[in-house]
């Protein structure tokens, strides 16, 4: 407990300095609303239920988009690893598409799907796909042949081998790919909501900022950060749980 307090003391000092700078008028309240004002606004937005509407809209989008990305991406990755021909056909294209800044897809998706939920879900899905495909692919490719051969000689058929051996052995790489996709999904979620949406956290922050409610805007940005941080930590816990057999 004491260790934790010392560790996070700098954050507390930064917040204190912020409060002081804003209250003492070192910076204008319009530029940097006091921390306490932000917290009050956060409370108002949450108590009024407004925050919840936007948070749940965002969470729905990111979980659908990323969920689809995980299902389709890992299936594609494993298929790709299983077939040399598929690799030769598809890999160069993947290598080329991988560095594309995924945010560039937002305008295309807006043209195709408009400003609704499906547009943001699609952007997140497409953005998260490649890291997951590559994670599954690299993991499955890296499986030692002796593992596969042993399973085969013990009488496992192709499906059993794929499920019991390859997918399990590929899990660490796949999970690492999903973590990259998770971070990317948040960036794409917030960006696409800022560009065009009527709901969601990205929309809320941009909307409050445009309306001059700067304390509310800071509150919204904090909520987004908190959700992103919590999602990453929760995922990390899941990651260690799923891979606990390796750490023993």
Task: Give the binding site for another protein (CB under 8 A).
Answer: 7-11, 14, 31, 85, 88-93, 96-108, 110-112, 183-184, 186-187, 189-191, 194-195, 201-202, 205-206, 208-210, 214, 217-218, 220-221, 224-226, 228-229, 231-233
Query: Whose Cβ is closer to another protein: residue 52's or residue 226's?
Result: 226
> Token pair of 246, please?
């390796």
**Contact present, 58 and 189 (Cβ < 8 Å):** yes
Residue pointed to by tokens 């939920």: 117
Minimum Å gap between C-beta 182 and another protein is 9
Q: What is the greatest pairwise CA distance in the chain?
A: 76
Q: How far apart are CA 165 and CA 154, in angstroms?
A: 12
DSSP three-state, residue 29: coil
Measure CA 66 to chain center.
Answer: 8
> Token pair of 228, please?
């992103």
Minimum Å gap between C-beta 187 and another protein is 5
Minimum Å gap between C-beta 27 and another protein is 10
Query: Whose Cβ is closer to another protein: residue 78's or residue 218's?
Result: 218
Minimum Å gap between C-beta 215 and another protein is 11
> Token pair of 182, please?
């998770």
Query: Whose Cβ is closer to another protein: residue 150's or residue 225's?
Result: 225
Minimum Å gap between C-beta 165 and another protein is 28
Query: Whose Cβ is closer to another protein: residue 165's or residue 214's?
Result: 214
Query: Whose Cβ is closer to another protein: residue 67's or residue 196's?
Result: 196
Q: How far apart are CA 60 and CA 56, in angstroms?
A: 6
Of 58, 69, 80, nearest to 137 by C-alpha is 80
């Amino acid at each position: 407990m004491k260790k934790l307090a010392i560790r996070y003391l700098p954050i507390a000092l930064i917040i204190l300095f912020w409060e002081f700078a804003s209250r003492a008028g070192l910076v204008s309240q319009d530029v940097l609303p006091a921390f306490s004002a932000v917290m009050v606004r956060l409370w108002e937005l949450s108590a009024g239920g407004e925050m919840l509407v936007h948070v749940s809209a965002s969470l729905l989008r990111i979980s659908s988009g990323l969920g689809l990305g995980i299902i389709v991406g890992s299936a594609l990755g494993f298929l790709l690893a299983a077939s040399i021909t598929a690799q030769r056909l598809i890999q160069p294209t993947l290598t080329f598409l991988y560095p594309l800044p995924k945010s560039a897809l937002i305008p295309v998706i807006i043209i195709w799907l408009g400003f609704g939920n499906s547009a943001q879900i699609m952007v997140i899905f497409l953005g998260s796909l490649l890291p997951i495909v590559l994670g599954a692919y690299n993991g499955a490719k890296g499986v030692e042949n002796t593992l596969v051969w042993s399973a085969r000689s013990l009488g496992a058929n192709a499906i059993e081998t794929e499920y019991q051996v390859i997918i399990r052995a590929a899990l660490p790489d796949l999970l690492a790919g999903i973590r990259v996709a998770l971070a990317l999904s948040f960036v794409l979620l917030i960006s696409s909501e800022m560009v065009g949406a009527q709901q969601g956290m990205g929309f809320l922050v941009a909307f409050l900022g445009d309306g001059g409610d700067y304390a509310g805007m800071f509150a919204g940005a904090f909520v987004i950060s908190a959700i992103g941080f919590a999602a990453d930590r929760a995922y990390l816990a899941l990651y260690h749980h799923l891979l606990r057999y390796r750490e023993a």
